[in-house]
A and B are shown apart, each in its own frame.
Chain A
Amino acid sequence: MDQHFPRLLAALSLALACVASPAWAEDAPVIDGGKLLLTNGVSTIEGTSGGGVATWATIAGRETDRGIGLSGHVTLIELPDYGWQSHGVAVGIANRIELSYARQNFDTRDVGTALGLGQGYTLNQDVFGAKVRLLGDTVYGDPLLPQISIGVEHKRNRDTPVARAVGAAHGKGTDVTLSATKLFLSHSVLVNATARLTKANQAGLLGFGTAGNDDHSLQFEGSVAYQLSRRAVIGAEYRTKPDNLAIAREDDWLDLFAAYALTDNLTLTAAYVDLGSIATFDKQRGGFVSAQLAF
Chain B
Amino acid sequence: MFLIAAALLLQPAAEPPIDWDKEFGVEEKARDPVTGELPVDPYVQDNRNAGASPFSGTAMAEAFGGQDGIRRIANRTVELSEADPRIAAIFVSHDMVRLKRTLFEQFCYILNAGCDYSGRDMATAHKDMGVRMRDMNALVENLQAAMREENIGFATQNRFLSKLAPMSHDVIER
User: Contact mask B145-174 → A, CB, 8 Å, 1/0?
Assistant: 000000000110011011001101100110
Residues of chain B within 8 A (CB-CB) of A111 are: none
* Bound CA–CA A35/B87 (angstroms): 14
User: Contact mask B74-89 → A, CB, 8 Å, 1/0?
Assistant: 0000000000001101
Residues of chain A within 8 A (CB-CB) of B115 are: none
User: Contact mask A110-121 → B, CB, 8 Å, 1/0?
Assistant: 000000000000
Given known A-B contacts A28-B132, A65-B132, A141-B166, A188 and B158 have beta carbons under 8 A apart: yes
* Bound CA–CA A131/B87 (angstroms): 30
Count of B interface residues, CB-CB < 8 Å = 29
* Bound CA–CA A184/B154 (angstroms): 13
Q: Is the interface of A mostly helix, strand, loop or mixed?
A: loop
- Interface residue stretch chosen among A71-79, A223-231, A243-251, A252-260: A223-231
User: Contact mask A30-42 → B, CB, 8 Å, 1/0?
Assistant: 0010111000000
Given known A-B contacts A95-B133, A141-B169, A36 and B158 have beta carbons under 8 A apart: no
Given known A-B contacts A17-B128, A34-B138, A22 and B89 have beta carbons under 8 A apart: yes
Residue A12 at the B interface, CB < 8 A? no
Residues of chain B within 8 A (CB-CB) of A23 are: 89
* Bound CA–CA A195/B17 (angstroms): 71
CB distance from A15 to the nearest CB of B (A): 12
Asked if A65 and B89 sit within 8 Å, CB to CB, the answer is no
Given known A-B contacts A17-B128, A34-B133, A24 and B89 have beta carbons under 8 A apart: yes
Asked if A25 and B130 sit within 8 Å, CB to CB, the answer is yes
* Contact-size category for A: 20 to 34
CB distance from B53 to the nearest CB of A (A): 12
Asked if A139 and B158 sit within 8 Å, CB to CB, the answer is no
Considering the complex of A and B, which 10 residue pairs feature the smallest CB-CB distances, nearest first?
A34-B134, A185-B162, A140-B168, A22-B130, A186-B162, A24-B89, A64-B133, A64-B134, A188-B158, A185-B158
Instruction: Give A residues with C-beta under 8 Å from B.
Output: 16-17, 20-25, 27-28, 32, 34-36, 64-67, 95, 137, 139-143, 184-188, 227-230
A-B contact pairs, 24 of them (CB 8 A): A16-B128, A20-B128, A20-B130, A22-B89, A22-B90, A22-B130, A24-B89, A24-B130, A27-B89, A34-B134, A36-B140, A36-B141, A64-B132, A66-B134, A95-B133, A140-B166, A140-B168, A143-B165, A184-B162, A185-B165, A188-B155, A228-B154, A229-B154, A230-B154
